[in-house]
Structure 1
Amino acid sequence: MGNPAQTDDPVAGGGSPPDDGDRTDGTRGRRQARQQRSFWKEFPFLIGIALLLALLIKTFLLQAFSIPSNSMQNTLQIGDRVLVDKLTPWFGSEPERGEVVVFRDPDNWLRDEPTAEPNALQKALSFVGLMPSADEKDLIKRVVGVAGDTVECVGTGPLKVNGKALDEPYVFAGNTPCSTEEQNGRGGQFKVTVPKGKIWVMGDHRQDSADSRYHQDSPGQGFVPVDDVVGRAVVIAWPLNRWDTLPVPDTFDQRGLSAAATVAPGALALTAAVPAVLWRRRRR
């Protein structure tokens, strides 16, 4: 019998085996193709995780807001982007004197202000926190009075809190701390005591800020509910040449600024009665 016929068909076992280099290149190519397919399969999942994290950060940690007006000059300029701390209010922290805060419009303060309607993409990006808030019903001012404080403006100032004059270097150059002129038919002179659960706010550009002073005839009498405060602005994040922190000015740390604790008349009477009772018991 003759030898079996040779065949060039490699499947049949004949012919030369493939070169090891060709086999390695083929394996590497298949591996790369699988990695590319795996990446594109995972890409939507990665995007979803990123959006979820952005939404959680915006809801519970930080949110960007864009400055639309001159009312906080020169501390804040039109177009500045500030980052607002939304975490501390979740732990019961309330606004303090001197802080710059963002709050929801308490009594339709912005009814006469034109509002730009954001497009669908801007709404979506601002919803997840990838763009500054598209909600134009938010305001930003400085807290000058908290619950129990008596805040007062007479003439052109200075602004007083609990009888203590404030040194306000942040007030816009050329402005006076208090205003004698009217805005929208409302005067800038006042003496108020801040109720529990409320704050009194003013803009740093005192002659161009429709703040608590000019809403005293509204249902809330110019006070802003603490529950309406979104958070404290802590950093100017954009533009980069404007990057800065927003600390509480030193004037709000002066001695004696806090309102004295009020003692109820009943408690005073009880305190006065204790020595008399003890004296009678000793005589007996």
Structure 2
Amino acid sequence: MEEGQAPDADGDGVDETSSQQQPQKKKGSFWKELPILLGVAILVAIVVRTWVVQTYYIPSGSMENTLELNDRVLVNKLVYNFSDPERGEIVVFTAPVSWRSDPDEDEFIKRVIAVGGDHVVCCDDDGRITVNGEALEEDDYLYVNPLTGEQDVPSLDAFDVVVPADRLWVMGDHRQASGDSRERYIREGGDVEAATIETDAVIGKAFVLFWPVGHGTWFSIPGTFEDVPPPS
């Protein structure tokens, strides 16, 4: 009979040593692997947050009613590595220093109204913003006061601008409470560069509102932008 074996009831040898040690070996292996698994999970989370998807909360009312105060959105940070921002998309960007009331608040969220080369004007005879001669019907997203039912006008200020190449004209959906391209254009005395943001400043595209759950929705480009022709 080999060492470490004892006869069972039928007289056959059973390796008690290996049967007792095997569970301990598996248990020890799990605890050794756990730090590695945790490290990999943390690394993946960091990579995803840095380069792929990140959550953002909404700190102001500049995008109401589309985005309410303290809403949470998911932002795709990878998409603009393969394409440029499009009219109608909601984007997060690093704001120029002159746009910030608080130097620490450097990331803004707005809607892209016009891209490089576009001719954006306010307003036509019906009070609508036009892009390359096409009037925008903005009822789907412009702010509506929940108490009075009154909707924001597209702009209280007139402007007539050709957006420089590789720059964006962005506006909040709550026009009367948004520090955006229109507001900067007026403040900076008609300086188009100061009123627009670089496409390279865009961090990513907001694609879903996930919190609060009852307010959750996917973001799509409003249909009115489909009729905007390319810049001439």
TM-score normalised by L of structure 2: 0.82
Counterpart of 2:116? 147
| Aligned partners of 1:159 and 1:177 also within 8 Å | no
| Aligned partners of 1:178 and 1:189 also within 8 Å | no
| 1:163 and 2:133 aligned | yes
| Aligned partners of 1:175 and 1:206 also within 8 Å | no
| 1:175 and 2:166 aligned | no
Deviations 1:50-70 (A, max 9, x none): 111112222332111111111
CA shift for structure 1 position 32: 2.6
| 1:259 and 2:231 aligned | yes
Q: 2:217 aligns with which of 233, 244, 250?
A: 244
CA shift for structure 1 position 102: 0.5
Give the root-mean-square deviation of aligned CA atoms.
2.6
Distance 2:168 2:69 in 1: 24
Counterpart of 1:279? none
CA shift for structure 1 position 242: 2.2
| Aligned partners of 2:115 and 2:168 also within 8 Å | yes
Distance 1:258 1:24 in 2: 80
CA shift for structure 1 position 257: 3.0
Q: Which amino acid aligns with 1:172?
A: Y
| 1:101 and 2:91 aligned | yes
The structure with the greater share of residues assigned to strand is 2
Q: 2:50 aligns with which of 59, 73, 76?
A: 59
CA shift for structure 1 position 204: 0.5
Moved more, 38-47 or 156-165: 156-165
CA shift for structure 1 position 34: 2.3
Q: 1:203 aligns with which of 169, 172, 177?
A: 172
Counterpart of 1:11? none
Once the two structures are aligned, what percentage of the paired residues are identical?
42
CA shift for structure 1 position 25: 8.0
Q: How does 1:1-284 map to 2 (within 5 A)?
A: 30-91=21-82, 93-110=83-100, 112-113=101-102, 136-154=105-123, 157-168=127-138, 169-173=140-144, 174-180=150-156, 188-216=157-185, 217=188, 220-254=193-227, 257-260=229-232
Distance 2:116 2:177 in 1: 25
Q: Report the structure number with the largest CA radius of gyration.
A: 1
CA shift for structure 1 position 18: 8.1
Distance 2:22 2:78 in 1: 45
| Aligned partners of 2:161 and 2:192 also within 8 Å | no
| Aligned partners of 1:157 and 1:176 also within 8 Å | no
SS of the equivalent of 1:221 reads helix
Give the unaligned 5+ runs of structure 1.
1-16, 116-135, 181-187, 261-284
SS of the equivalent of 1:113 reads coil
CA shift for structure 1 position 238: 2.1
Q: Which amino acid aligns with 1:81?
A: R
The 4+ residue runs of structure 1 with deviation greater than 4 A are: 17-20, 23-29
Change in 2 beyond 3 A, CA 1:24/1:241: farther
SS of the equivalent of 1:84 reads strand
Deviations 1:122-163 (A, max 9, x none): xxxxxxxxxxxxxx4110000000011111223983111122
| Aligned partners of 1:175 and 1:205 also within 8 Å | no
CA shift for structure 1 position 27: 5.3
